[in-house]
Structure 1
Amino acid sequence: MAGKVVLYYFNGRGKMESIRWLLTVAEVEFDEVHLTTRAQYEKLLSDGDLMFQQVPLVEIDGMKLIQTKAILNYIAEKYNLNGKDLADRVKVNMYSEGLMDLMEMIMVLPFTQDPKPKLENILTKAKERYLPVFEKALTGPIYLVGGRLSCADVQLLECTLMLEEKFPGILADFPCIKSFQGRMTIVPAIDRFLKPGSKRKPQPDENYVKTVMEVFQIKLPFL
C-alpha cells in the first residue's frame, strides 16, 4: 500500500504551489519536505531522484515524479480532473499551459532586481492576451471544459488570485471570471485551503529567495 504523498520543495510557492492546489481539490493529504540546505538538494541528486536535476519532486503511489506538468497530469488523471475524453483533455491542457505561462511570469518577480518593467508586461499580457480567453470561455458555462471541474479550473483560480495580489481590481472588466472565483472559493476543500493555517504558501519573501539562491548556488542578477 502506497504511503502518504510527499512533496519535496522549498517552503514557498514556486512551481509546487499548483501541485498543492490540485492535491487539495482532490482531497489528497500530503506531507512536505522543505529544502533549506544545499546538502539536501545534493542528497536528492546523489540518490538519483531528480532526473533533470530539478524540483519539484513528488513521491506518490510508490513513484518519485518530477516535472511540474507531468505531475499535474498524473494527479488530474488519477482523480478525474482532466476531462471526460481526449477532446476535453487537450482543451484542459491548452488552458493549463497558458495559465502556467502567466504564473511563471509572476514567479520570477522576486528574483528580479527591477520588477517594475516585468510587472507592467504581466499586467498588459494578462488583460490583453490571457484573461479575455477565460472570460469568453466562462460566458455561460460553470467550468472551462465539458461542464465539469478540471485542473484548468483549479489553476485559473490560483492564477487570478495571484494576479489580484499584484493588481487589485484587475478583474473589474472580467465579470465572468469574478463570478467563477466566487463559485470556486465556496468549494469546501478550497475554502479550507484559503484560510490561515492551511498548506497554501504566502507570497515569496526575502527569506524564500535567499534559500532558493543558496540551495541552487545562484548569484544575482540572473534575470
Structure 2
Amino acid sequence: MAADIVRLSYPASRGLGEPIRLALVASGIEYTDNYLRTREDMVKLVEGGKLMFKQVPLLEIDGLNLIGSEAILRYVCRKGGLDGKTDEEKVKIDMLAMGAKDMVFQNVIYSRFHEILISKEKAEEDIRTAIKECKNRYLPVFEKVLSESKSGFFVGDSLTMADIVLFDALSCVNEIPEFKEIRLMDEYPLCVAFIDHFSNQPRLKEYLTSERRHTVIDLEQAAYASRVMGWLPS
C-alpha cells in the first residue's frame, strides 16, 4: 500500500472504530475503510503480520501499522490538533474520554454481545446496570461540564478528542431502544444539545449524514462482529 494512503481495518460497525473515523474526518484526513466482513478477512489480516497483538482496529498511516483503539485515536487527534492546548486541557480530555468509554462499553455495548454469547438474561441485567450507572455516575457529570462551557464543547473553545468520544457515547445512549423507551436523555438537555452541536460541525455533518455512518449496534451486528472475531463459529 502506498505510504500516503490511510486505511482503517475494522468490521462494518461503529464499535471501537467509530471514534477513530470521527477523528479522521474532523482532522481532514482522507482514509479508506477496509471492512472485515468474514472470519477469513480477520485471519488474513493477522497472518499479514500488521497486528501487534492480533487485534483490530488497525490504522495504516504515515507508514505505520497502529493498533489499540485509544493509541490510534490519540495519534490521529495529535495530528489534527484535537488533543488540547494546555496540559490542563489535555488531562481533562483524557479523563472525560475515559468516562465516556466506560459508560458506553462496560454495559451498553457489551449487553449486545452478552445476549449473543451468554444469555438474554445477562443482557437484560447489563442494561439495568447501564441505566443505573448512566444516571448515577456519568450523565450528571457530562451535563455539569457542559453547563460550565461557554463554547458548547467539553474542553476549551474548540472541538477536541473529548467531544469525539463523548459524541460517540452519548449518541449511542440516545439511540439504544432500551434507553429511548424510558426517555433517559430527556433528563440531560445539554447533552442532547451537544449531540446536535457536534453533528453540525464542518466535515462531520457530511460524514454523519452519509452512508458511511453505521447505525447503533444491534443483535445482528453483534453476531456478525462476533463471527469475524472468532467468538462465534462462522
Flag whether TM exceeds 0.5 (same fold). Answer: yes
Deviations 1:17-36 (A, max 9, x none): 11112112222221111112
Q: Aligned in 2, Cα 1:203/1:174: closer, same or farther, shift over 3 Å?
A: closer
Give, in angstroms, the shift of residue 130 of structure 1: 0.6
CA contact (8 A) 1:82 1:89 kept: yes
Q: Note closer, same or farther for the CA distance 1:86–1:6 as it changes in structure 2 (3 Å cut).
A: same
For the 8 Å contact 1:102–1:122, the answer to whether it is kept is yes
Distance (Å, rounded) in 2 between the aligned partners of 1:178 and 1:211: 30
Give 1:155 deviation, angstroms: 1.6
- The alignment status of 1:203 with 2:213, answered yes or no, reads no
* Aligned equivalents of 1:194, 1:46: Cα separation in 2: 33
Trace 1:1-223 onto structure 2 (pairs within 5 A): 2-104=3-105, 105-113=107-115, 114=120, 115-141=123-149, 142=151, 143-166=153-176, 167-168=179-180, 169-197=183-211, 199-219=212-232
Name structure 2 gaps, 5 residues minimum: none
Q: Residue type matched to 2:230 in 1?
A: Q
Q: Using the alignment, how far apart are the partners of 1:178 and 1:13 within structure 2?
A: 20
How many Å separate the matches in 1 of 2:184 and 2:89?
A: 29
Q: Is the 8 A contact 2:112 2:222 kept in 1?
A: yes
Q: Is the 8 A contact 1:10 1:208 kept in 2?
A: no
In 1, distance between residues paired with 2:84 and 2:158?
A: 7
Residues 68 and 186 from structure 1, CA distance in 2 versus in 1: closer, same or farther, beyond 3 angstroms?
Answer: same
Distance in 1 between residues matched to 2:193 and 2:220, nearest whole Å: 35
TM-score by length of 2: 0.86
Amino acid of the structure 2 residue aligned with 1:175? P
Q: What SS class does the counterpart of residue 36 from structure 1 fall into?
A: coil
What letter corresponds to residue 60 of structure 1 in structure 2? I
TM-score norm. by structure 1 comes to 0.89
Shift of the 4–103 alpha-carbon distance from structure 1 to 2, 3 Å rule, reads farther
Identity %: 32
Q: Choose between structure 1 and 2: higher helix proportion.
A: 2
Q: For 1:64 and 1:94, locate their aligned partners in 2 and report how far apart those are by CA, in whole Å.
A: 26
Give 3-state SS (helix, strand or coil) of 1:32's partner.
strand
CA displacement at 1:213 relative to structure 2: 2.7
- Residue 185 of structure 1 and its aligned partner are, at CA, apart by 2.0
* Aligned length in residues: 219
Mark the CA change 1:213 to 1:171 in structure 2 (over 3 Å): closer, same or farther.
Answer: closer
Task: Return the offset for 1:133.
Answer: 1.0
Kindly provide the amino acid, as one letter, of the partner of residue 167 in structure 2.
L
Q: CA deviation at 1:207?
A: 4.4
Please provide the CA RMSD for this pair.
1.9
Q: Deviations over 1:32-51 (max 9, x none)?
A: 11112333222222222111
* 1:205/1:137 CA distance change after superposition, 3 Å: closer
Verify the 8 A CA contact 2:9 2:36 in the aligned structure 1. yes
